[in-house]
Structure 1
């Protein structure tokens, strides 16, 4: 995801956001996990009931890939470096341990949101408040409120449903800047023979991350404008009424990069994440899962995820596991 969305210079936008529903205080003044509160033991069992075949899928993209890693423009992909390997012993730079044991060791430098990842609820804001009304100053030097740590400590488990928007529109991947809304999601689900239910973890495939691995970086990032959900008050109310706990997509920012009507960048990060506490998971690999869903006709499953427990983090890498 990008840095915080600034709407202060767009007339009427901040006022519009303030008219939209909020879940602030719904689970107490100290709540830091937002809509994940909907995922109670009943919802975990509802997710488990969707397991029919025992198939498993991991949804993280590779880290430190030779092709590069899909990241928000301005960020760099993960850099992995060997600090110990066979070459150290051959060169006489290291001695084997007692008994002859040798080993390899390495380290990685990366943006915490430089791979498949979860956003902390305090990751973006407008004005002076982040999720649940916490002061935006609590983000200085690390998030002391609404960081990724409470999400990681809680974990995310429930019934997931995959909506293949690219396939619904007859494409390998959606076009640059192509948009869709909640009405389109419901229609796509109907075409798949499923129904989005209250408290479902919503996975949306656009094909965009899959495209990253099929084209050059120059082509992928040229005039960067991702496809995705587009803002409207109606869409926000739909998420609120459906009590969606988690939005998961195969794009870098979970929504169209620039709203085509207002020109605001990433308004849903405020309208859904900041206001409603909907957790965002981005850069998720959905192509293999989608292909399997087409083959067996099963579009619902148990979805599980546990981002890394990064103290004060605005996000953290994750490798979600789906069980069908």
Structure 2
């Protein structure tokens, strides 16, 4: 779908007065299925490959499906059954898992405006659950072409460590990363942010989790607090003005929990309001090391989510290529 001729300012949202606060319903059309992924046109992908791929070095961004043990937030974890196909010398395996038990994309049917009880473009729970296999606002349409474009890494964890206050000290608390510090880091890195970029925010959560003892992991599995981007009007305005195709972090929620300013809770605004996918618990540690090695914080990024009707979430199956 072509880019809208006019991108309104945040204060001009919602586009219709009866729509939820800060929503942009209709910006990409009433029947749109991609939201801000519409920015990832063939031309954007082509130019990104030409500009960003220099060495061919690549790194996977998915954590193992069984990485979080016990699983976070009371979700079902990963199980595997390896099947011996005797008398043939052959093996199969069967796995089960919650699609949000490890690295994940949230689809536009994951989180609604809670007061209005509506998802992106006005979809309701009744619409989603009117039959066993509906596909409204699922991530299956994303699989038609996959997700590909320019990624930019904001390595807040390394920056905070350099400032003498490691973010790992706050990862399992409701620490909100101030948008002012994110802007400062963007300036320090001389990052040229462009509409349609996929924003990657490394908080240090995955690295800190990897250092926990077994007892520590059990404790964290019960926590409903974590590090993430601090909510505020300024934060929301910065995200909107930059028109990211998607946002990603290595924490369980991209934004901090509990919200610093509940009125600016980003999950409903991003997913239900703007149609902007949220990636969570991505493995960004090796990517950060590669970016540091080349002193280059942008890269070509691809993701191939699972393809099935009605998907609420999916492992990203993601790769960054420098």
TM-score (norm 1): 0.83
- Where does 1:43-122 land on structure 2 (aligned, <5 Å)? 43-48=44-49, 49-65=51-67, 68=69, 71-84=71-84, 94-96=86-88, 102-122=89-109
Distance 2:289 2:63 in 1: 16
- 2:254 aligned residue: 254
Q: 2:311 is matched with which residue?
A: 313
- Superposed CA RMSD in Å reads 2.2
Flag the 1:319–1:191 CA change in 2: closer, same or farther, 3 A: same
The alpha carbon displacement at 1:230 in A equals: 2.0
- Deviation of the 1:120 alpha carbon: 1.0
Which SS does the other structure have where 1:111 is aligned?
coil
Residues of 2 paired with 1:133 and 1:240: CA distance? 20
> For residue 157 of structure 1, what is the aligned residue in structure 2?
148
Give matches, 1:1-324, under 5 Å.
Answer: 18-20=20-22, 22-48=23-49, 49-65=51-67, 68=69, 71-84=71-84, 94-96=86-88, 102-125=89-112, 126=114, 127-140=116-129, 141-170=132-161, 171=166, 173=168, 175=170, 176-216=173-213, 217-221=217-221, 223-262=223-262, 267-324=265-322
- Gap regions ≥5 residues in structure 2: 1-16
- Contact residue 162 and residue 204 of structure 1 kept, 8 A: yes
Pick the structure with greater CA Rg: 1
> Is contact 1:47-1:157 (8 Å) kept?
no
Query: How far did residue 143 of structure 1 move?
Result: 4.6
Measure, in 1, the Cα distance between the counterparts of 2:222 and 2:312. Answer: 27
Task: State how far apart, in whole Å, the 2-side matches of 1:259 and 1:215 are.
Answer: 25
- Aligned-pair CA distance for 1:146: 0.4
SS of the equivalent of 1:161 reads strand
Pairwise CA distance, 1:207: 1.1
Secondary structure, counterpart of 1:301 in structure 2:
strand
Encode CA deviations 1:226-272: one digit per residue, 9 max, x unaligned.
1001222222222222111100110121111211344x7x9211011
Greater Cα offset, 218-227 or 129-138: 218-227
Helix, strand or coil at the partner of 1:18 = coil
The runs of 5 or more residues in structure 1 that have no matched partner are 1-14, 86-93, 97-101
